[in-house]
Chains A and B, each alone.
Chain A
Amino acid sequence: MDEQRLDGNAAAGVLAEVFTFEITTARTACVHCGASGEVGAQMAYVSEIGTVVRCSSCEGALIRIVRQLNGPQRYWLDLKGIEYLQLQERQ
C-alpha cells in the first residue's frame, strides 16, 4: 500500500490503539512553527508501516507511530514534534 496523504482524522484508528482519550479533537502545538490546532485538522501520511501526523501549516512531523506487524503488539511512538497535547474527556 502506498503512502496516502489524508486528514489527521484518518489517523484516529491507529492513535486510538495507544491513547485512551479521543485524540482527533485533542489540541496540539507544533514545535517546528508554533501553529496550534486539533490533531484531526493536521495532515496524516498513512502507509502500511506506520502513520506520520504532520503540521498542516509547516508540514513538520508532529507524531510518528509505527506498529510491529508480526509477533507481540509493540509500538514505536515519537512525539518530539509536539509541544503538548490537550486532551479532553468526552462529555
Chain B
Amino acid sequence: MTEVAGAPRRLDWQIGEIIEARPETPRTKSLFLEVPGWQGHRAGQHVDVRLTAEDGYQAQRSYSIASAPETVRVELVVERLDDGEVSPYLADELRAGDGLELRGPLGGWFAWDAKEGGPLLLVAGGSGIAPLMAMVRHRKASGSDALVRLLFSSRSYEEIIFREELESLSADDETLEVVHTLTRSRPEGWKGYERRIDEEMLREVAYPTEKPPLTFVCGTTPLVETVATALVGLGHDPARVKTERFGPTGG
C-alpha cells in the first residue's frame, strides 16, 4: 500500500457545547449543540462523534444532523441502545453545559438542497428520521414547495420521533404528505399501517409522480435494504435511491 506521511489536510475535531438535552420519546433524546465556528451544513449530512475514556480508549460513531441548515444550533437525535457502546452515554449522561467532541459536517452524497426541487420520497425507520427531518425542516425554512412524501416506521405511537412537529408541518400543507406505520403496538382506532415496511406498502405510498422522485432512505440495515430492494423492484432508478444505514441496530 502507498504510505501517505502527513495528510494534506486534517479535518479537525472540535468541542460542541450541549445547550439542551431534550427527551423526544421514551428512548430518544434530541441534543442541541452550539459548535464554535460551525461552517453550516446541508440537510442530510452527518457529524462524527468521538468519545474518549479515561484510559484513552476511543469510540467513534456517526450521527445525522436533524436541524435545518437555517438553524444555528445543531440538533442530533440519540437513541438509547442498552448494549450500545456510545449511545447510553449520549442519551443518559450528557447534560446542558457538557462538551461533545465532533467533526463535520460530512457526507455530501446523502444531502438535499431545496434549490434541487422535488419530488422527494423519504423513508425512515425510528431515529433514521433525523437526516430526513433536516430535509423537511429545510424545505419549510427555505419556502420550497417541492412535493415530499415521508413514510415513517416506528414501533409505537409514543415512539414516533418529532410526531407533533410533523403533524403541524403537514397539517396545512398539501405538498407534504406524512404516512406512518406502527410495527409493535397501535393506539385504539389507529388508521395507519400496522406492519413493517414492505413492497406492497411502498407501492401504495410511492405512487408515480410526474417526475421520478429523488429518494432518501435511513434506518437500520435490514430496513434500508428491504426498502431499497423493493423500490428498485417497483421500477425506481437505483441511482436515485440514496441510503444511509445505521448498521444492524445502530450504535
Q: Do A and B bind each other?
A: yes
Chain A at the B interface: SS class: mixed
Contact indicator B108/A4 (Cβ below 8 Å): no
The answer to whether A5 and B245 touch (CB under 8 A), given A24-B107, A41-B109, is: yes
Partner of A9, one of B11, B239, B244, B248: B244
6 pairs from A and B in contact (CB 8 Å cutoff): A1-B59, A39-B109, A40-B107, A41-B239, A72-B5, A76-B4
Contacts of B189 in A (CB 8 A): none
Contact indicator B110/A73 (Cβ below 8 Å): no
Partner of A6, one of B3, B5, B8, B245: B245
Contacts of A6 in B (CB 8 A): 221, 245-247
Partner of A24, one of B10, B108, B221, B247: B108
State A40–B5 Cα separation when bound (angstroms): 25
State A6–B104 Cα separation when bound (angstroms): 18
Give the number of residues in A that approach B within 8 Å (Cβ atoms).
Answer: 34
Q: Does A84 contact B (CB under 8 A)?
A: no
Q: Does A31 contact B (CB under 8 A)?
A: no
State A39–B244 Cα separation when bound (angstroms): 13
B203 to chain A, nearest CB (A): 24
| Residue of A13, A64, A74, A76 contacting most chain B CB atoms (<10 Å) | A13
Contact indicator B106/A16 (Cβ below 8 Å): yes
Q: Does B53 contact A (CB under 8 A)?
A: no
Contact indicator A13/B3 (Cβ below 8 Å): no
Contacts of B60 in A (CB 8 A): 13
Contacts of A66 in B (CB 8 A): 1
CB within 8 Å of B: which of A1-35?
Answer: 1, 4-10, 12-13, 16-20, 22, 24-25
State A5–B248 Cα separation when bound (angstroms): 9
Contact indicator A20/B9 (Cβ below 8 Å): yes
Contact indicator B2/A9 (Cβ below 8 Å): no
Contact with A along B1-45 (1 / 0, CB 8 A): 111111111110000000000000000000000000000000000
Contacts of A73 in B (CB 8 A): 6-7, 10
Contact indicator A38/B109 (Cβ below 8 Å): yes
State A72–B4 Cα separation when bound (angstroms): 12
